[in-house]
Chains A and B, each alone.
Chain A
Amino acid sequence: MSSPMEQFNIKPLIPLEIDGYDISFTNSALFMTLAVVLSTLFIVLSMRRRSLIPGTMQSVVEVLYEFVAGIVKENIGPEGRKYFPFIFSIFIFVMFGNMLGLLPYSFTFTSHVSAVGTLALIAFLLNIVVGIRKKGWGWLHTFAPSGSPLIAIPVLVPIEIISFLAKPFSLTVRLAANMTVGHVMLKVIAGFVVMLGIGGILPLFFDCLIVLFEIGIGLLQAYIFTVLSCIYLGEALHEH
């Protein structure tokens, strides 16, 4: 029987190598592409008619839009509107990644630290760029809280820098760990179904419940990931 961790293996589908670097098109890349294509199709097709009174599909997209707009407004403020496209893209991408990962035989790219970490890193770099553009050299003040005694500075500054660098890390681990745990649990309990034969109905029932639960977790984690990237952006824009 296959191990519950086998679903996270990355397999190259189209082997490619440039200058010694392995840049194969993998199953992970396939599902990222799928997430981008499907979400674009979903939004473009649903918004094609653009009627004043929205149909079902248009309402779904409008609800999504307003949901993310609400997050941006609450966590960044009115000046956050500029960054709405970025936040919306992150939300839709992560959400589609989580949802696609729940389909049988699919691959969950949001369970991989490298994929999620890159997203977090983009948000992190944007935070730095926005902070420097907004405050100039004053941005460095983030690492030396005002009013701290001069003797404490050599200790405080490294601590603040580490605490700043730790943010994208914790953001990544939270999403990846949640997705990994859920999928391992699904596989392990699915293994019981096979082992127990006729008595496997009980774990089968349980597995169905977990799938429902996982849909909730997937949406919630996409939401949390979005909120936290908003908070980081907001921190760059505002004073502490």
Chain B
Amino acid sequence: MSKSEEKELKAFEDKIERVNREVNKPAKKKFDISFSSGWGLGVRLATELLGGVVVGAGIGLVFDELLSTKPWFLVIFLILGSIAGFLNVYRTANSMQSKERAHVKMSDGKQE
């Protein structure tokens, strides 16, 4: 590697470090806000709940069609699906909360 190239590389490394230092903190903060915005949170939990109910209803309809027991499996699986939907919402909310706590801890550690 020639001397001028080495110099160029060194200058570039310095630049990267400078930009990194500048970008890291505020960028991360902004990004977190956009990810956990109210709309995003709402849609996420709503689809989670809907998913359980719709999949449950679908399974129930398929069983009814196959065994020709018209409403019974639909009723059973609709109930089970609703429970599964609530379970998914509960789990999602839990994991969101623990993630948020981890983030808070991380940023606290950085500031000290």
A binding-site residues for B, Cβ under 8 Å = 52-53, 155, 158-160, 162-163, 165-167, 169-170, 173-174, 177-178, 216, 220, 223-224
| Residues B44 and A163 in contact, CB atoms below 8 Å apart | no
A174 with B34: in contact, given A53-B8, A158-B77 (CB under 8 Å)?
Answer: no
Question: Count of A-B contacts with CB under 8 A?
Answer: 64
Question: Given contacts A173-B47, A174-B44, A177-B43, is CB(A166)–CB(B9) below 8 Å?
Answer: no
Q: Which residues on A sit within 8 Å (CB–CB) of B80?
A: 155, 158-159, 162
Q: A163 vs B48: C-alpha distance in the bound complex, in angstroms?
A: 9
Which bracket fits the contact residues of B? 20 to 34
Contact of B51 among A53, A170, A223, A224 (CB under 8 A): A170
Residues of A within 8 A of B77 (CB): 158, 162
CB < 8 Å neighbour of B9 from A53, A160, A177, A220: A53
Given A53-B12, A177-B47, residue A163 in contact with residue B34 (CB < 8 A): no
Interface pair B51/A166, CB less than 8 Å apart: yes
Nearest to A166 among chain B residues (CB) is B51
- Contact present for A170 and B81 (CB under 8 Å): no
Besides A163-B52, A169-B54, 17 other A-B contacts (C-beta < 8 A)? A155-B80, A158-B77, A159-B83, A159-B87, A160-B84, A162-B55, A162-B59, A162-B81, A166-B81, A166-B85, A166-B88, A169-B47, A169-B51, A169-B55, A170-B50, A220-B40, A224-B40
Residues of B within 8 A of A177 (CB): 43, 47
B48 touching A170, Cβ below 8 Å: yes
Taking CB atoms, residues of chain B closer than 8 Å to A160 are 84
